[in-house]
Amino acid sequence: MKADAQWNVDNKNTKLTTPKGVAAYAYVDKTEGIDGTDTGKYSLTLVMDPGPETSKFVHKYQALVADAQSKVDKPFNNSPIKENDDGTVSIRFKSKFQPSVLSPSLKPLPPEVPKGSVVRVGTKPFCYTAFGGGVSLYLNVIQMIERGTGGGDSGGFEFEAEDSDTPFETDDDDVDF
């Protein structure tokens, strides 16, 4: 195998589908930007609760990594799957190509996945050896089971709801902005 090779994990065009999870960060309608720089990639981070379906998906991924690892002479240092402190599992998917978004009944939807949406992700694993090596999970298709609100939450702070969402009004003479 060449020093910086890329290949389909098992040369069989393997396709995986995740169990349901919550979209935490989704760049599906436009490519992701980091510190003001466009990465040129669409991405989605899926957060899944621990359980048998999540474990089954992670074990499938680990088996593909073990198979790919057996074909190279250096260890892989990167993984799109992370276990969070609260026991949930985060999986990062990415692609140079905009993924399809489907409804629960598999009808096409606009390419938008608000934060908090319950989704499944169709992915293809792809092995690489550059930059520490690993097996990426390409973002191919998203099935939106339940649309999220896209908004943030209070972050654990205690707020009381007010009667109105009317914007703050000021007398321009009294306040300097």
Q: Is residue 168 part of a domain?
A: no
Residue 163 lies in a domain: no
The whole-number pLDDT of residue 68 equals: 82
Q: Residue 71 has what pLDDT?
A: 79
**Which pLDDT tens digits describe the chain residue by residue (177 residues)?**
444 444 455 556 789 999 999 999 999 999 998 888 999 999 999 999 999 999 999 999 998 888 888 877 777 888 899 999 999 999 999 999 999 999 999 999 999 999 999 999 999 998 887 777 788 899 999 999 999 887 655 555 666 666 655 554 445 555 444
Where in the sequence is the domain holding 123, given as residue range(s)?
A: 6-146
pLDDT recorded at residue 5: 47
Q: Please check whether residue 123 lies inside any domain of the structure.
A: yes
- What distance, in Å, lies between the first and last C-alpha atoms of the chain? 61
**161 belongs to a structural domain:** no
Q: What CATH number is associated with residue 40?
A: 2.40.50.140
What pLDDT is recorded for position 26? 92
pTM value is 0.77
The answer to the question of residue 157 being in a domain is no
Q: Answer yes or no: is 175 within a domain.
A: no
| Contact between residue 47 and residue 88 where contact means Cβ atoms under 8 Å apart | yes
Q: What is the pLDDT of residue 50?
A: 92
User: Is 165 inside any structural domain?
Assistant: no
Domain count for the chain, please give it.
1
- Whether 160 is in a domain gets the answer no
